[in-house]
Chains A and B, each alone.
Chain A
Amino acid sequence: MWLVVLKTCWVKTYKLMTRYLFNMLSGFVTLYIVFALLFFGAKSIGGGAMDLGDTLEGMFVGYLAWMLAMMGSTDLAWNVTNEAQTGTFEQQYLSPVGYGWIAAFTESFNFIYNVALVFLIAISMAATTGQKIHLHLGSTLPVMLTVYLQANGIGFTLAGLALIYKRIQSFFQVVQFLMVGIFFIPWDRFPWARFLPLSASQKVLQRVVIDGQKIWEIPASDLILILAVTVLYLALGVLLFRLAESKAREKGLLGQY
């Protein structure tokens, strides 16, 4: 049963992606162009240097992490919103494995696809900026996974809110900017910022992608921190989604739009 559901979710997600091929390609191009504009714009204003997390490396990794975070959060929330609009959300809810697992299986496919896309954009960005990067899979993937899962926590929260309050898509965009803000908060002045979602994982990602550190070279305390933050925000997101789902069932809003 579980394998059938997993395979079914993967095949459907893949097929829908191929049906929106132009959308996929334009997404890739847009993300690359936005980065190029940021980079060349900053270079021309700052005379070749920019202070974003102090260095170009900060901007580089910040952008990668932001892309992943966006894909893991607002994309997930958009999906739930769209599914609720088309009535397919209720159908998934009727599955004996429950909506949670269907979302998890679908997101596992999305993670693989999104990471591949982020790698591709990272390589393009590196070629544009001349920035040396290290994409050691065994080290990069686990850290990216923590970014993605923390973002999923945010995504589930947004999706839950969308189930109840419906048209809150503009709020999704606000959250995208808030996530950028999180990357900017300096830990030395605001030590609590390390416990915010995405913040610690982005710092570790920089060490892996820019400094070329392997995951086993990262101090255990940092790994424990990003794991704990991941578990915390993912669990919180799922819990809030569950509460929202329960409220939506109570108010009869699960499939209404």
Chain B
Amino acid sequence: MEGILVEGLNKTFREKNRVVEAVKDVSFSVGEGEIVGLLGPNGAGKTTTIKCILGLVKPDSGRIEVGGIDARREPRKAAGKLAAVLEGARNTYWRLTVWENIVYFAGIHGVSLSRGKEYFRYLLSVLKLEDQKDVEVRKLSSGYKQKTAVACALAKQTPIVFLDEPTLGLDVEASYDLREALRKLQAEEKRTMVISSHDMKVIQDVCERVMIISRGRLVTDEKIPDLLALFSARRYKVVISQNGDAAAIRAAEEKALERFPGCEVKRSPQTVEVFVNLSDGRQIYELVDIMRASGAAIETITQEEVDLEKAFLEVVRREARACG
């Protein structure tokens, strides 16, 4: 099975004056040919998790299997199954051309030029790098540099690929091109891919499933449509008219916040909008009761459209509240 299995992964960094628990008991699996997004705030443990799997960071404990190989016991054998783009546009030689970089990084993975030539050309065409083939990387824009790094990783033709922040620093068009290319490659090649990013569009466009890491813990592991459905079913917007009694509105806000911690309040001159996530649909009656008891006049109640960004923020905030 050319997938990934992680069980009970732990990593703590010990520095002079502090101890950072970067990864805490993380377990997940990624099936063969599956494309999974890894989301998390800065410092959540995404890159450390990826680097542990790649063998670049030594975990304290846990089991890591890649392509059926115990990566901790046989790191070199496991490396043959893996390729990665790490931390954006780095990872390439800026004094070499795009083509020379591809040939080099494929070569040190044992893919000779004669064996890989056709595929390298195909990658150039999919990533729209054909015109830049013989240009030194240092002369390229950040978008092309990023695409070169992705091409170098894919050129190794490994069954498992990690892309850490592949769209970091890219403009809208370059990000769109890269997402298109990844979608096309995934549809044709069915490689196992893990994409870590702050860019929700990449994850939503390209991935089937999303894992959210917060404070070193894996807090969500859902298919993207399921995650969105979960939050869209729960998230409501209640609009209260500002024409009513100001004290009543304030009381309504306070009681809503007290009953539903984490709800958001947005004010405009005409209205007050209360966004609330309900764990049970029947809680909407409680919310209406709070408004009625406070004397606030409800204008509308609507179920909110939820995108991945909102769902992500909700998960992370919920986790932060749970951790105090």
Contact = CB atoms under 8 A, between A and B. Distances in A.
Contacts of A249: 55-58
Nearest to B79: A96
Interface stretch (B27-35, B100-108, B175-183, B244-252): B100-108
Interface stretch (B83-91, B228-236, B276-284, B292-300): B83-91
Nearest to B87: A87
A76 B23 CA distance: 34
A86 B90 contact: yes
B256 interface: no
A39 B59 CA distance: 55
Give the interface size class of chain A: 20 to 34
B56 A8 contact: no
B13 A86 contact: no
Contacts of A252: 11, 13, 22, 48, 51, 57
B91 A90 contact: yes
A104 B22 CA distance: 34
Give the interface size class of chain B: 35 or more
Contact of A16 (B54, B57, B86, B95): B95
A194 B321 CA distance: 67
B76 interface: yes
A6 B194 CA distance: 30
A212 interface: no
Contact of B94 (A86, A250, A254): A86
Contact of A246 (B58, B77, B84, B96): B58
A83 to B, nearest CB: 9
Interface string B55-81: 111100000000000000000110110
A100 to B, nearest CB: 10
B222 interface: no
Interface of A: 1, 4-5, 7-9, 11-12, 15-16, 19-20, 86-88, 90-98, 102, 246, 249-252, 254-255
22 contacts: A4-B107, A4-B110, A4-B111, A5-B107, A7-B112, A8-B108, A9-B108, A12-B93, A16-B93, A87-B91, A88-B90, A88-B92, A90-B56, A93-B56, A96-B79, A96-B109, A97-B76, A97-B110, A102-B108, A249-B55, A249-B56, A255-B86
Given A87-B91, A96-B79, 14 more contacts: A8-B107, A12-B96, A12-B100, A15-B100, A19-B95, A19-B96, A20-B95, A86-B91, A87-B87, A95-B109, A97-B108, A249-B56, A252-B22, A254-B56
